[in-house]
Chain A
Amino acid sequence: MPATNTIDGHTFAINEEGFFTQRDDWNEELAGILAELIGVEMTDAHWKALRFMRDDQATTGVTPTLRRMQTVGGFDVKELYRLFPGKPAKKMSYLAGLPKPIGCV
């Protein structure tokens, strides 16, 4: 039985760190709740980054790194650091319902 998190009627499978293991367990309402938990105030710019992450992961099978967000998604890295301060790549992948990125850059 894999571990799960439950909040406000949403249940999703997680790994030992708490990251999603099933991308289909995610929905935008849940993302909004999780954002509140980790202290991120969602705006359109935040959602744009999360949607790109999910779309990109759907085609490549891996969570995009910050570098890929820049080169493929056209996002400004400085802006991503501002939107998701501290650990941008990890915060974004968490809120997008994806595993944390494995790339080095």
Chain B
Amino acid sequence: MRSVPEGFVVPNFGPAPAAAAASGRTRTEVAGGGSSGDTGPRKLALICSKGNLDMAYPGLILGNAAASEGVEVHVFFTFWGLDIVNTKTNGNLKFTMVGNTAMHMNELGRIKPGLEHRSMPQIMGRIPGMTKFATWMMKKQIAELDVPDVPDFLDLMQAAGVHMYACRMTFDMMKLIEADMHPGVEGVISATDFIEISENAQTIFI
């Protein structure tokens, strides 16, 4: 590898993965010293606990984005979050406006300007078919941005090297079977296992 000439600006591509692995250093070692401003390999732990369509995406997007930035990513799917990696359910996650006080729709602005910022009355969410409609609408908007649906997103994350795990307790409680898990799920593990895996990681609970 050629050295960078003086005064030449190269974007930060992080440490070369091979070099970082060879040196065997950890985050804590690097945090203790060094003046280069290099904070060492980053690690991110995500805990996905919700199975609503709108609550599935934050974890998927963050995890995938972190992987593409060279961050080591571990995702733990627990409780309703397991629906995200369960192939029997993950193509059919739903969005409901019930209990969502921020529910407003851009399209309504065409009817009357200002209406797009007004939250919709909760009672509307109880109208039969409303959850189906709201889910369809959200899926359409997501697809328009060329953001993959949930199963495809998991494929993408698996290709990106994201480590995914299912929660043992939820798994047993809901009587799930491993054959139903997305192939990217590396194992069914306990909470303590995940605590060990996520050592020194930045952790986000969703």
Contacts and interface: CB of A to CB of B under 8 A. Distances in A.
Interface residues of B, number: 29
A14 B9 contact: yes
Contacts of A17: 9, 11-12
A67 B148 contact: yes
Contact of A67 (B18, B69, B156): B156
A88 interface: yes
B161 A81 contact: yes
Contacts of B17: 85-86
Nearest to B70: A86
Given A67-B148, A105-B146, A18 B159 contact: no
A104 B58 CA distance: 11
A38 B65 CA distance: 21
Contact of B61 (A37, A77, A94, A104): A104
A23 interface: no
Contacts of B11: 17-19, 90, 94, 100
Contacts of A94: 11, 13
Contacts of B160: 77-78, 81
Given A36-B2, A67-B147, A76-B159, A87 B61 contact: no
A39 B1 contact: yes
Given A77-B160, A81-B161, A87 B13 contact: yes
Q: Is the interface of B mostly helix, strand, loop or mixed?
A: loop
Nearest to A67: B146
A39 B16 contact: yes
A89 interface: yes
Contact of A86 (B14, B146, B156): B14
Interface size, A (range)? 35 or more
Contact of B148 (A81, A89, A105): A105
A22 interface: no
A67 B68 CA distance: 11
Given A17-B11, A19-B11, A105-B64, A37 B2 contact: yes
Nearest to B20: A86
A93 to B, nearest CB: 9
Given A36-B1, A67-B147, A104-B65, A86 B10 contact: no
Closest 6 CB pairs of A and B: A18-B9, A86-B70, A78-B159, A77-B159, A39-B1, A36-B2
18 contacts: A3-B9, A5-B9, A7-B8, A17-B11, A19-B11, A36-B1, A37-B8, A38-B10, A66-B156, A70-B156, A85-B70, A86-B16, A87-B68, A87-B70, A90-B69, A94-B11, A104-B61, A105-B65
Interface of B: 1-2, 4-5, 8-18, 61, 64-65, 68-70, 146-148, 153, 156, 159-161
Interface of A: 3, 5-7, 14, 16-19, 33, 36-39, 66-68, 70-71, 76-78, 81, 85-91, 94, 100, 103-105
